Amino acid sequence: MTTVYDVPAEMFINNVAQKLKNDKKVNPPEWSRFAKTGAHKELSPDNADWWFVRCASILRRVYIDGPVGISRLRSFYGGKHRNGVRPAHFSKGSGSVAREALQQLEKAGLVKAQKVGRSVSPQGQSFMDNAANEVKTELVKTIPALAKY
């Protein structure tokens, strides 16, 4: 059985983002066209489909890290906040983006809420494993030596 751990993250996230976009399970909010992804960023994302990519990435993080909350996701998506001539410091990512994405994934039935955070639902785990299997099949077509793994 192929899981999320068996395939490259970038290929997997792009595949899941495309599925979320095509199935219309997730829709970007109105404000997402203007939003930055954290206080440490100077501009909004260049990719027009960044919302779907972020939702796919969050879904993968919830799958890997178990029950997670908004604070842990904010820390994961944070980065270096440059303060001009003053020293740089770490800054957390946007909580609104993480919260809205998790709420949409929960409505889609891919994530379920628990007392200590959110974890992947059985439907979400099946969705992710199927996507991982598709990515692995695609990889085996391009690199036949990977078939033994």
How confident is the model over 105-146, as pLDDT tens digits?
A: 999 999 999 888 899 999 999 999 999 999 999 988 888 877
User: For residue range 21-68, what is the model confidence (pLDDT) as tens digits?
Assistant: 999 889 988 988 888 888 888 888 888 889 999 999 999 999 998 899
What CATH number corresponds to the domain at position 127? 1.10.10.10
Cα–Cα distance measured from residue 60 to residue 95, given in angstroms and rounded to the nearest whole number: 17
Q: Give the chain's domain count.
A: 1
Q: Which domain range does residue 44 map to?
A: 4-148
Tell me what the mean pLDDT of segment 66-82 comes to: 92
**What is residue 74's predicted lDDT score, i.e. its pLDDT?**
92
Report yes or no: 3 and 129 within 8 Å, Cβ to Cβ.
yes
pTM of the predicted structure, to 2 decimals: 0.90
- Residue 75 binned pLDDT confidence (cut-offs 50, 70, 90): very high
Q: In this structure, how many other beta carbons lie within 10 angstroms of the beta carbon of residue 125?
A: 15
